[in-house]
Amino acid sequence: MSDAAERESGLMSLLWPVALVAVVLTAIAPFVFSAADRRGVAIGGALATLNLAAIALVVRGVMRGALLSWGSLATVKFAVLVFATWIVIKNHWAGVLPLALGYAALPLGIVVGQLTRAAPVRREG
């Protein structure tokens, strides 16, 4: 498998650990916040998972020679993320802290995914 293909599959393979961590954080949310804040943690976890999926698609496009620059794609992705977060908070679908706890599934899921991944095989010579 080429290095580019390994990087593409690497990002996509982290979606499941991020989603799993989001589910775990949603399950423990009533013990950290009130039971009503479970929805906010779930929304934050969904945003985190969708954000990672968007990053993986942008990286895949860039690796395959997409015409748009990396900076413009990242800016659009970030703007969509901020807009979605603003909509959630403005409509009172979630509080800021439960939303942030759910979004913490992104870095935590990446760490869990890296810890459970097999070590790469080194090729010599």
Instruction: Express each pLDDT in 65-124 by its tens digit.
Output: 766 677 788 888 899 999 999 999 999 999 999 999 999 999 999 999 989 887 677 777
Q: Which amino acid is at 105?
A: A
Is the separation of the CB atoms in 1 and 96 below 8 Å?
A: no
The pTM of this model reads 0.82
Cβ burial 90-103 (10 Å sphere, 16+ → b, else e): eeeebbeebbebbb
Instruction: Express each pLDDT in 37-74 by its tens digit.
Output: 899 999 999 999 999 998 888 888 777 776 667 778 88
